[in-house]
Structure 1
Amino acid sequence: MSPSTRQNTIRRIPLIAVSPVLTVALVAGTVTVPAHAQAAGSSALTEAVGEYLPAILPAVQHHGAPVPEPLSLSDYGWYISDLSSYDGGIYYDVVSSFSDLRDNHPEVMKDSLDTVVDVNNSADPETVRRAQVDAAADDGNLLTALSDAFGSTLGEALRTSLQEHRLPKTRTLMDSGYLSRAGGLASSTLIEKEIFNYDRPFVVAPDRITKHTGGGNEGLYDLSGSAAFPSGHTNQASWTTTLLAVLLPELAPQLLARGAEAGYNRMVMGVHYPLDVVGGRMTGQAAAADRWNDPKMRTVLTQAGQELRAELEWRTGMPLAEAVATDTPYRSTGVAVGEYTSRMTHGLRRVGDPEAPLTVPQGAPELLVTAFPDLSWGQRARVLAATALPAGYPLDDQSPKGRAVGSWQRMNLAAAFAADVEVGQGAALMVNGRPA
């Protein structure tokens, strides 16, 4: 597809908001479920409700515990962030430099294929098992799959709370699969996939990819008609873990590292290239920034964060920061930042100017507001710049337009959340012991 054709495709995309499906369920007490589930009987109907609309299921109540309260009816309507802040209301501009890689850098495209082949073929049984779990969590129960990022005790507390339907706000916004209200059409990558139309690795190189079927993924490799770039699963895991990191900054590096693992696991399954995974992270974080910078959406996200924090603190009997400090973590902060940073590039070679200046995306600094509430927007932007990935790696768009909108490829959010920041006299700012 030529650049002009791609641009025409973008202009033809109707800017339609995602329908607030849950409103009908809440008001009328009914749920629209797939026809095959209706035909299968009441047990299948209950299962479908739990999968697609878990927030409407009745909560288990406990004496002295927080009382779960769903979002109000008005919280299900239109949000300005249902459309992206980029041209066309989607996230094409965030990853548009993929076309340049495909057209002008065959060495990077070869590296990308070789990398997924190596990851897919060398995965041990436990890595494959985790990848299968992540692959099955796209249309529901994503938070259960990601719960180990919270740590041993907190992860178990989260899973129990989810099983008891005690987190209706959180589940409505982030754990209802493709109906999650904090997601939506703009952040789904479906339109971007159609624009780029790039075949998956198991289609391009079927003799080099091992199909890890099982674990509820028997139909996974029927995706041959679905394009690869960018990765939708990575996108979903990325915007979810990014928003959770904003709401629970005590766990931010671990949450972000777990989202990066979910992307890596798409390569384990052989259904995505590293470039797809990088692009999914970029679009997911751009979408999370749009959501958090939307005042109306920030209000309901904050309510979900308060709900989640209160529940975890009730279950552990201590403030969240103390519970995190005494728990067995998913990864130590240093290891989490290291893994996340490595998975920002997956070892792909640089193709751009290593000295290119950085533009921090306008929406990115607000993602650090809960971690650094006393810093200004400009100071948080300097933290992001000080912890950013070096320039020139694939999908770091150095075109004039790319530099204007900023590089999500270079935003190392795990390192930024974990940064040691000191404010001196005047505008002096030290990040990890260095002037920023």
Structure 2
Amino acid sequence: MGSRCKSLLKGALKCAFVLSVATVTLSGHQQISHAAAAKGSLDASESLKKAITPVQGPYGYFVDHYKENVKTNTTPDNNPAIAIFDNTFLSYWSPDGTKKNAELLQENLDKSIPITNNATQAEIDRSYLTDRRDLRYNLISGLGPYSTAFIKDADAQTDFNSVPSAPLPANSPYSSMKWADENSKLGSVVKLVDLNEASDWSSTGTPKGYIKYERPYRLSSQVKVNPYLVNVMAAAPKTDYDFPSGHTTAAFETGEALAYVFPQRYQQLITRSSEVGYDRVLAGRHSPFAVMGGRILGTAMTASTLNDPANKQLIDQAYQDAQKDLSKAADSTAKDTFANYQQNLKDYTYRLTYGFKPISSTTKPMVVPKGAEVLLKTRLPYLSDAQRREVLYTTGLPSGYPMLDDPEGWGRLNLFKAANGFGEFLTNTTVTMDASKGGYQAADTWKNAISGKGGLTKAGSGQLTLIGDNTYAGGTTVKAGTLVAQNDHAFGNGSLTLDGGTVTLSAKHVTVKGTYHQAKDATLHVNAGDRATVDGSAHLNGTLVVNGAKSKNQTVLTFSKRTGKFSHVKLEGFGKNAHVVYTNKSVKVTD
């Protein structure tokens, strides 16, 4: 080999060595970056796992001990239905009659006075019927247009359908009729409600007997009693105590059980549950604290029933029967007292706190009770149990309000808000919906304003609609199915990536704070007059569908710069000469 060849070979080897080192260095840099990213992801996942881990009460976990609420267990030491109030109501009041927080107890009583004195005639009538009817029958109105079919197929009945012309006699009984039939067409649903509400361990009798707190109409003559019930309430025994409210507990046990098997009316049913509690305050029967306690106890009992493996067969059958019987049985002529979403939201939210101000720190971390995620299982069926716990965590009430800071977190749950999806993305969140399963798997709407550092990945064949004023920072990715933006800020503060599936713009001016990237198998669907503004760059590919033109010229997208073009364009509702015009800053349809 000549000297020149040796020199070339030496140089080539040197170059090869340098390239090899450079490649290793680059590869090593990538590995470090990936490792750092993985560590960041792991840290976020570990933080999330820690955040949603349940905390035991002094009795353990309520769902593991709920059947210990029986007459023979009469103290907080052996009855979780008493101990659940140990650091809330029992820190304001002692069963021996000592007022540990006299000011707060007086405020509780004072709130009853204007509620009872300002009751409308409609509220007086409704609270009377709530008082007299079977506790479970009270919740049927929450089914709205489906109540007609439920009454028929559950053989539901009541002997109280109107108000009396004069106050009832002192010894007047409650409804004597069986609310519904366990052998009816909807017998499995009736059995589930009965199991949850009418079992020995479902009662508030033992907690009331231990706590011994008097009813508001006995504590103040300013509390106005329901005029139809004046004689009945005057004759009630002194041992007929206030806390916790039995009617309210039963209302949440019934309403949440029905909401589980028929989640199409989830928020309406739990709103009616809260209304039953309000009716008890209206009638002068109970104080706000008593009905707040009823919500807490009823919710804990329902989660316990739904989590108990012994009940699985009945629960599954009840869900199947309710869906088969009711889902297509809406009666358009039936009265729907809970048709107004905004009113439901306002009423339910108020009844969570009854206007009490916080009395301690409002910044304590949310606690999600063990088993509480089951309460969202049929309402958010496409989420995992851990994701449902995250929903409860990110939609819960702040700490510090009277009555709500029980050890496990039952009081801070806001199921109405939780039914609207995440309140925050604590980490990157993938939602996989299967349209073939129907119901909320096929299509759902999230109404909350979603914040957080995480992002959203939409997978699966179903359709998810975002209508909240979102600020989450982690970006939005669509892999399959459809993601609909019905708010200008639906996609939060990050980038939008279409790897597949469809994004539909159904808001006037959707903003993408980061970049926009559309792959060849993805579709952008723009409704008439709607558009998107991308703060960063846009890479275009795949399909564009624009429908229902309101003018001859429509701007579809604007951006800082562009690469690529849509490979397929479908213009619906435009003239035959309509076409797409691309510039460095925009995409327009011109007719």
Shared fold, TM over 0.5: yes
8 Å Cα contact 1:80/1:294 also seen in 2: no
Aligned partners of 1:295, 1:183: CA distance in 2, in Å?
19
8 Å Cα contact 1:291/1:298 also seen in 2: no
Deviations 1:102-159 (A, max 9, x none): 344322211110111111111011101111111112xx3x4443222112x3122222
8 Å Cα contact 2:390/2:422 also seen in 1: no
Alignment of 1:356-375 (within 5 A): 356-375=364-383
Alignment of 1:94-243 (within 5 A): 94-96=84-86, 97-102=88-93, 103-137=99-133, 140=134, 142-151=135-144, 153-163=145-155, 165=181, 166=184, 167-174=186-193, 180=195, 182-205=197-220, 207-214=221-228, 219-221=232-234, 222-243=236-257
Matched letter for residue 108 of structure 2 = S
Matched letter for residue 382 of structure 2 = D
Q: Tell me the residue number matched to 2:411.
A: 409
Matched letter for residue 413 of structure 1 = L
Aligned partners of 2:423, 2:357: CA distance in 1, in Å?
31
Which SS does the other structure have where 2:412 is aligned?
coil
Superposed displacement of residue 296, structure 1: 1.8
Aligned partners of 2:125, 2:320: CA distance in 1, in Å?
33
Aligned partners of 2:289, 2:109: CA distance in 1, in Å?
9
User: Whose helix fraction is larger, Structure 1's or Structure 2's?
Assistant: 1
8 Å Cα contact 2:425/2:451 also seen in 1: no
8 Å Cα contact 2:92/2:100 also seen in 1: yes
Q: Is 2:362 aligned against 1:354?
A: yes
> Quick one: which of 337, 351, 354 aligns to 1:343?
351
Aligned partners of 1:213, 1:163: CA distance in 2, in Å?
31
Gap change, CA 1:330 and 1:218, over 3 Å in 2: farther
Alignment of 1:6-405 (within 5 A): 82-83=67-68, 88-96=78-86, 97-102=88-93, 103-137=99-133, 140=134, 142-151=135-144, 153-163=145-155, 165=181, 166=184, 167-174=186-193, 180=195, 182-205=197-220, 207-214=221-228, 219-221=232-234, 222-313=236-327, 315-316=329-330, 328=336, 330-397=338-405, 402-403=406-407
Over aligned residue pairs, what C-alpha RMSD do you find?
3.2
8 Å Cα contact 2:255/2:270 also seen in 1: yes
8 Å Cα contact 1:95/1:283 also seen in 2: no
Aligned partners of 1:358, 1:212: CA distance in 2, in Å?
38
Superposed displacement of residue 276, structure 1: 0.3
Aligned partners of 1:392, 1:346: CA distance in 2, in Å?
14
Aligned partners of 2:328, 2:429: CA distance in 1, in Å?
40
Aligned partners of 1:425, 1:350: CA distance in 2, in Å?
29
> Quick one: which of 450, 456, 468 aligns to 1:433?
450
Aligned partners of 1:227, 1:212: CA distance in 2, in Å?
17
Deviations 1:18-37 (A, max 9, x none): xxxxxxxxxxxxxxxxxxxx
Gap change, CA 1:282 and 1:374, over 3 Å in 2: same
**Pair member with larger Rg:** 2
Superposed displacement of residue 240, structure 1: 1.0
Q: Tell me the residue number matched to 1:40.
A: none
Higher relative contact order (CA 8 A, sep 6+): 1
Superposed displacement of residue 181, structure 1: 5.7
Superposed displacement of residue 350, structure 1: 1.3
Superposed displacement of residue 202, structure 1: 1.3
Gap change, CA 1:209 and 1:372, over 3 Å in 2: same
Which SS does the other structure have where 2:410 is aligned?
coil
Aligned partners of 1:343, 1:243: CA distance in 2, in Å?
20
Matched letter for residue 109 of structure 1 = L
Superposed displacement of residue 218, structure 1: 5.5
Aligned partners of 1:173, 1:251: CA distance in 2, in Å?
17
Aligned partners of 1:113, 1:154: CA distance in 2, in Å?
38
Gap change, CA 1:84 and 1:250, over 3 Å in 2: farther
8 Å Cα contact 1:89/1:186 also seen in 2: no
Superposed displacement of residue 327, structure 1: 8.8
8 Å Cα contact 2:248/2:276 also seen in 1: yes
Q: TM-score, normalised by structure 2?
A: 0.52
Superposed displacement of residue 238, structure 1: 0.9
Which SS does the other structure have where 1:229 is aligned?
coil
Matched letter for residue 247 of structure 2 = H
Gap change, CA 1:209 and 1:225, over 3 Å in 2: same
Aligned partners of 2:103, 2:430: CA distance in 1, in Å?
43
Aligned partners of 1:270, 1:172: CA distance in 2, in Å?
32
Matched letter for residue 346 of structure 1 = Y
Q: Tell me the residue number matched to 2:510.
A: none
8 Å Cα contact 1:90/1:186 also seen in 2: no
Matched letter for residue 129 of structure 1 = D
Superposed displacement of residue 93, structure 1: 2.4
Superposed displacement of residue 194, structure 1: 1.4
Matched letter for residue 232 of structure 2 = G
Matched letter for residue 434 of structure 1 = S
Superposed displacement of residue 427, structure 1: 4.4
Q: Which runs of 5+ in 1 are unaligned?
A: 1-9, 12-78, 318-322
Deviations 1:382-406 (A, max 9, x none): 1112111111101133xxxx44xx2
Aligned partners of 1:260, 1:412: CA distance in 2, in Å?
12
8 Å Cα contact 2:65/2:80 also seen in 1: no
Deviations 1:34-62 (A, max 9, x none): xxxxxxxxxxxxxxxxxxxxxxxxxxxxx
Superposed displacement of residue 416, structure 1: 0.5
Aligned partners of 2:330, 2:223: CA distance in 1, in Å?
44
Q: Which runs of 5+ in 2 are unaligned?
A: 1-57, 71-75, 94-98, 157-180, 432-445, 455-591
Aligned partners of 1:261, 1:327: CA distance in 2, in Å?
17
Aligned partners of 2:414, 2:426: CA distance in 1, in Å?
24
Which SS does the other structure have where 2:339 is aligned?
coil
Q: TM-score, normalised by structure 1?
A: 0.69
Aligned partners of 2:196, 2:379: CA distance in 1, in Å?
24
Deviations 1:51-101 (A, max 9, x none): xxxxxxxxxxxxxxxxxxxxxxxxxxxx98544699635412222221212
